[in-house]
């Protein structure tokens, strides 16, 4: 029983719940600071309550909270409770979703909270999805790729980022052994970081409502 609790799933590529799928250990600090939050919110989720937070690493949530302001514009590929949270801290949020059932659920939550700074769109066509907001001529301060067609979304996202902006790829440890769309999305983002002489960092950390850790990749661009 203890082994099962620690390992999670024998079919997973993880060494344990405390390792991402690339084999990176979460670290003692994140266990102490974030594991209790993840467990508590996970139990709440099992009881039917979804925490209104981005379901990404707690470390990244802290960075975004300090970074965003009412002048910030956010672009999100893949919606959820994160959409509500971004609208609280940013001035304007554009979010796209291709799961119709989930879209309707999130839409009802947006309406319930009477949020008028969100442009929320359902796209069941692949090209419409990854091309979402591609004609925008203002740009975005924060772009999160956390949905479908990640490599194509990432290729679109990097063209829309403002100087000094942040791009975040969630679950960057996925497809690590077999290769796949996530690996291509990661390569696109790393090439972009190199081209722009931008800072990049990987986070292996707990996220809200999950009982295991994941990896995320963040790129912070210079202002010039």
Q: If we measure between CA atoms, which residue out of 208, 224, 218 comes closest to residue 186?
A: 218
Q: Which helix H or strand E contains 181, and what residues bound it? A: helix 181-196
Q: What is the CATH number of the domain that holds 63?
A: 3.40.50.150
pLDDT in tens, 136-189: 999 999 999 999 999 999 999 999 999 999 999 999 999 876 678 999 999 999
Write down the mean pLDDT value for the chain. Answer: 92
What span, in angstroms and rounded, lies between the C-alpha atoms of 92 and 119?
A: 8
Q: Does the reported pTM lie above 0.75?
A: yes
pLDDT in tens, 117-131: 999 999 999 999 999
Residue 2 CA: distances (Å) to CA of 5, 7, 16, 20, 94: 5, 9, 12, 19, 43
Q: Count of domains in the chain?
A: 1
Domain of 74, in residue numbers: 2-220
pLDDT in tens, 85-135: 999 999 999 999 999 999 999 999 999 999 999 999 999 999 999 999 999
The alpha carbons of the chain give a radius of gyration, in whole angstroms, of 17
What span, in angstroms and rounded, lies between the C-alpha atoms of 168 and 153?
A: 12
What span, in angstroms and rounded, lies between the C-alpha atoms of 183 and 79?
A: 21
pLDDT at 48: 83
């Amino acid at each position: 029983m203890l082994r099962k609790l620690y390992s999670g799933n024998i079919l997973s590529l993880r060494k344990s719940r405390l390792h991402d799928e690339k084999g990176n250990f979460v670290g003692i600090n994140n266990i102490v600071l974030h594991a209790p939050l993840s467990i508590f919110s996970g139990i709440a989720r099992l009881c039917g309550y979804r925490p209104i937070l981005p379901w990404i690493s707690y470390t990244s949530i802290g960075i975004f909270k300090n970074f965003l302001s009412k002048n910030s514009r956010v672009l999100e590929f893949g919606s959820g409770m994160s959409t509500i949270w971004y609208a609280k801290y940013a001035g304007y949020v554009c979010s796209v979703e291709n799961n119709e059932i989930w879209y309707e659920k999130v839409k009802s939550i947006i309406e319930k909270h009477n949020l008028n700074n969100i442009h929320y769109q359902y796209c069941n066509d692949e090209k419409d999805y990854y091309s979402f907001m591609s004609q925008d001529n203002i740009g975005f301060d924060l772009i999160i790729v956390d949905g479908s067609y990640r490599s194509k979304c990432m290729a679109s996202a990097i063209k829309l980022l403002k100087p000094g902006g942040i791009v975040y790829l969630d679950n960057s440890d996925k497809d690590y052994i077999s290769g796949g769309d996530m690996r291509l999305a990661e390569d696109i983002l790393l090439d972009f970081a190199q081209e722009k002489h931008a800072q990049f960092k990987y986070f292996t950390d707990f996220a809200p409502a999950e009982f295991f850790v994941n990896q995320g990749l963040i790129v912070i661009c210079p202002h010039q």
